[in-house]
């Protein structure tokens, strides 16, 4: 094994062990070497790793795409509450964005933008379920009314998976590219990028600069991406030196400068 990879592996394992997490080797260690296990109801590694990274490396800025209502299933909400971060919360759904404004509107360090991020600027059609749609999966409730995607087929699959009978509704929203979002708010590439857009995550991550100015970490939902799309996305990140920690739903991509 490459000595550099071994060194990175040791450092990641050291970090995980200090946080009380168990790490196991992926069957294909050349691609995604480390998988977090036993994370119970909070499968995202970001909940544990992000606070440690912020403290160790003095990370200050972030952009969260698909911030939703800032509560349900949000692995970054703890960091926003505990650290004086500056960032942009992006959420195109009117109802969810209104809740974000209620929660964070008085925080002068945060910008809340009701817009979608896409490959092209203009408008984007999103697909979602009607309001107050609660699904039960196993022993847990799922706020299906908070799910939205630019991919109708994905929402049809989610409707079948959750056993919903409601129709899928359309919502046309303004859209910006990643670079357009940065220019609009006068921000350079942030220290942290968090993406959760129901199967459209790679469309956004593929636009993020990953050279020496790249984010300290990029976190996105990998669950709904095909293996081919996920491979194309991680190939680009891997070439830039990023290393990966995978959980059941998400992928955390760590810049070599923070390892």
- pLDDT tens sequence across 69-93: 888 778 899 899 999 999 999 999 8
Distance of CA 166 to the CA centre of its chain: 27
Residue with the bigger pLDDT between 70 and 212: it is 70
pTM of the entire predicted model: 0.81
CB neighbour list of residue 103: distance below 8 Å, 6 or more residues apart: 69, 70, 71
Q: Which of 17-26, 33-42, 95-104 has the highest mean pLDDT?
A: 95-104
Q: Does pLDDT of 18 surpass 60?
A: no
Give percent of the chain above pLDDT 90: 44
> Which alpha helices (DSSP H) does 69-211 contain, by range?
77-82, 94-104, 152-162, 178-185, 201-205
Q: How many CB atoms lie within 10 A of CB 229?
A: 16
Q: Give residue 2's pLDDT.
A: 47
Q: Give residue 169's pLDDT.
A: 84
Q: Give residue 70's pLDDT.
A: 87
Residue with the bigger pLDDT between 65 and 155: it is 65
Q: Which of 19-28, 38-47, 150-159, 178-187 has the highest mean pLDDT?
A: 178-187
Residue with the bigger pLDDT between 56 and 73: it is 56
Q: Give residue 38's pLDDT.
A: 39
Q: Give residue 134's pLDDT.
A: 61
Least confident of 104-113, 123-132, 216-225: 123-132
What is the C-alpha to C-alpha distance for residues 102 and 10, in angstroms, rounded to an integer?
43
What is the C-alpha to C-alpha distance for residues 81 and 112, in angstroms, rounded to an integer?
15
Q: Per-residue confidence at 133, pLDDT binned at 50, 70, 90?
A: low
Q: Which of 14-23, 32-41, 94-103 has the highest mean pLDDT?
A: 94-103
CA angle 46, 108, 171 (to 5 degrees): 65
Residue with the bigger pLDDT between 81 and 15: it is 81
Q: Give residue 36's pLDDT.
A: 43
What 3-state DSSP class applies to 90? strand
What is the C-alpha to C-alpha distance for residues 98 and 95, in angstroms, rounded to an integer?
5
Max distance between CA atoms of the chain, in angstroms, equals 54
Q: What is the mean pLDDT of the chain?
A: 81
CA angle 162, 166, 171 (to 5 degrees): 105
Q: Give residue 5's pLDDT.
A: 47
Q: Domains in the chain, please, with CATH?
A: 3-258 (3.40.50.150)
Q: How far is CA 224 from CA 27, 63, 253, in A?
A: 20, 21, 17
């Amino acid at each position: 094994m490459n000595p550099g990879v071994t060194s990175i592996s040791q450092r990641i394992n050291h970090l995980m062990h200090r946080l009380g997490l168990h790490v196991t080797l992926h069957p294909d260690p050349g691609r995604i070497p480390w998988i977090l296990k036993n994370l119970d109801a909070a499968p995202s590694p970001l909940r544990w790793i992000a606070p440690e990274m912020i403290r160790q490396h003095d990370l200050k800025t972030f952009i969260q795409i698909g911030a939703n209502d800032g509560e349900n299933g949000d692995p970054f909400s703890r960091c926003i509450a505990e650290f004086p971060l500056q960032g942009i919360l992006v959420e195109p759904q009117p109802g969810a964005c209104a809740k974000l404004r209620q929660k964070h509107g008085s925080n002068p360090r945060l910008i809340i933008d009701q817009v979608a991020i896409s490959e092209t600027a203009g408008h984007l059609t999103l697909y979602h379920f009607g309001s107050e749609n609660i699904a039960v999966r196993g022993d847990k409730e799922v706020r299906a009314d908070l799910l939205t995607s630019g991919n109708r087929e994905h929402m049809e699959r989610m409707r079948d998976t959750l056993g919903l009978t409601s129709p899928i509704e359309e919502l046309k929203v303004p859209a910006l590219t990643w670079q357009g979002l940065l220019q609009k708010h006068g921000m350079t590439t942030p220290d942290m990028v968090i993406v959760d857009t129901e199967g459209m995550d790679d469309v956004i991550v593929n636009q993020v600069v990953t050279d020496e100015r790249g984010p300290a970490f990029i976190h996105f939902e990998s669950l709904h991406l095909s293996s081919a799309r996920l491979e194309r996305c991680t190939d680009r990140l891997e070439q830039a030196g990023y290393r990966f920690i995978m959980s059941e739903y998400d992928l955390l991509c760590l810049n070599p400068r923070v390892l």
